[in-house]
Amino acid sequence: MQELIVNLHNHSNISSGTANYYEMAQAGLNAGIDVLIVTEHNILIHEKDQYYHRDGKNVLLLAGEEIKDPARPYENHILVLDTDLELASFASDPQAVIDAVRRSGGISILAHPFAKDNRWLKKKGAPWITWPATNFTGIEIYNLLDEFYSQSRGIFSLLGNASQPELFPMGANEESILKWDELLLSGKMVNAYAGSDGRQAPEEIGFRTFPILPYEFGFRCLNNHVFVPQQLSGDVDTDKRMIYQALKAGRFFIGLDLIHPSAGFSFKADGENQTVWPGGRMRFENSVTLKIRNPKEAICRLIHNGKVVRHWEKLRSLPVVVTEPGYYRVETYLPYRNKLRCWIYSNPIYLDKA
Ligand SMILES: [Zn+2]
């Protein structure tokens, strides 16, 4: 498998962002990501899918969409990828959007499901409120802009986080992780995604104007690391198909690359005659060997059916034999600037009772 760095959930100046696609792609090339996915509010722009090249580096820009109901703009945002459907007309019924995406073979992600308001910036969060929802591909457990809002409570923390954004990211939204485990425990296969919600929008804070979370910062900070069977070919349609297949299957992990590059992490299950990657399922007989590999020594937890079943203070790589069916996922932590931060979240491997 090859690993690609995919940055998801970005807005251009077409919707709430401040740069055009060419400028965003330049920021992507500077940051060294492989794929940049834009999701404009209620506008699907397919003809913009294209490679940008500079100095021997390439970034593939793909366009999805973020659906919201114009009549109720502060709830139920859905990121939609890999579909040609124009879904904005369904926007008043979020479950109808999700169902239409599933029928078309696309990907639907509940965006920032537990977003809160930030009264100091007069920002209203747009949480997911229509529970239970069903048939969606995954949830955005980590939204960088939402974390900025939730960690910036008061003028001084806003000033600090706007001027030094490298200080605030701590990890995914706790309520989103609880909801993810709850959904997984109920037997659903649900992928966890990370989104920048990149906009680089100027905000006036204490008589100064700051571009909040510059695009390049978001691309360097928080990514989805996707496992694909082949190297990118350079052909937009071929590569798009392969990337979306992996994103749909959950064959990726989330890395907070700001604190240390997470490329090189892996989590696999080895059975008698197959290897399963995150998002995959395997028939469980008596035992299965899980293999965890961290790019550097880190605190590491193995989670089985919502509970931490193994904890290592310093783990580089290890085979772990497990003897219970269910879902398994991995979280790793690193100290950064005197605080312990969550660095990596793998998607689950599902071991089905024989
Ligand atoms: Zn949104």
Distance 254 CA to ligand 1 centre (A): 19
What residues does 53 pair with on adjacent strands? 58
Please tell me the distance from the alpha carbon of residue 167 to that of residue 306, in angstroms, as a whole number. Answer: 29
Cα diameter, the chain: 64
Please tell me the distance from the alpha carbon of residue 331 to that of residue 343, in angstroms, as a whole number. Answer: 7
**pLDDT at 345 (0 to 100):** 98
**pLDDT at 84 (0 to 100):** 87
The number of residues making up the chain comes to: 354
SS3 200: coil
In the numeric block, which tokens belong to residue 223? 């990514």
Distance 210 CA to ligand 1 centre (A): 21
Distance 130 CA to ligand 1 centre (A): 15
What residues does 142 pair with on adjacent strands? 194
The closest of 292, 305, 281, 286 to 332, measured between CA atoms, is 292
φ and ψ at 248, to 5 degrees? -75, -40
Distance 66 CA to ligand 1 centre (A): 7
- Give me the percent of the chain exceeding a pLDDT of 70: 100
Q: How many CB atoms lie within 10 A of CB 166?
A: 13
The closest of 45, 31, 4, 29 to 213, measured between CA atoms, is 31
Please tell me the distance from the alpha carbon of residue 41 to that of residue 156, in angstroms, as a whole number. Answer: 31
Average model confidence (pLDDT) across the chain = 95
Q: Which of 117-121, 167-171, 329-333 ranks highest by mean pLDDT?
A: 329-333
Q: Which residue has the higher pLDDT, 25 or 132?
A: 25
347: DSSP letter: P
Distance 272 CA to ligand 1 centre (A): 43
**pLDDT at 87 (0 to 100):** 85
Distance 68 CA to ligand 1 centre (A): 8
Q: How many CB atoms lie within 10 A of CB 154?
A: 10
Distance 53 CA to ligand 1 centre (A): 29
User: Would you say residue 342 has pLDDT above 80?
Assistant: yes
Q: Which residue has the higher pLDDT, 272 or 259?
A: 259
Distance 19 CA to ligand 1 centre (A): 17
Distance 193 CA to ligand 1 centre (A): 14
pLDDT in tens, 142-160: 999 999 999 999 999 999 9
Give the chain's domains with CATH numbers: 2-256 (3.20.20.140), 266-353 (2.60.40.10)
Say whether the peptide bond before residue 132 is cis (omega within 30 degrees of 0): yes
Distance 133 CA to ligand 1 centre (A): 17
CB-based contact 5:225 (threshold 8 Å): yes
What residues does 123 pair with on adjacent strands? 118
**pLDDT at 149 (0 to 100):** 95
**pLDDT at 286 (0 to 100):** 87
Comparing 175-189, 199-213, 217-231, 305-319, the range with the smallest average pLDDT is 199-213
pTM: 0.97
Distance 37 CA to ligand 1 centre (A): 14
Distance 126 CA to ligand 1 centre (A): 6
Distance 190 CA to ligand 1 centre (A): 19
SS3 207: coil
Distance 21 CA to ligand 1 centre (A): 19
User: Would you say residue 269 has pLDDT above 90?
Assistant: yes
**pLDDT at 343 (0 to 100):** 98
φ and ψ at 11, to 5 degrees? -115, 135
pLDDT in tens, 100-140: 999 999 999 999 999 999 999 999 999 999 999 999 999 99
Distance 321 CA to ligand 1 centre (A): 40
**pLDDT at 339 (0 to 100):** 94
**pLDDT at 43 (0 to 100):** 84
Please tell me the distance from the alpha carbon of residue 197 to that of residue 9, in angstroms, as a whole number. Answer: 5
Distance 77 CA to ligand 1 centre (A): 5
- Number of alpha carbons in the 13 Å side-chain half-sphere of residue 259: 24
Distance 325 CA to ligand 1 centre (A): 36
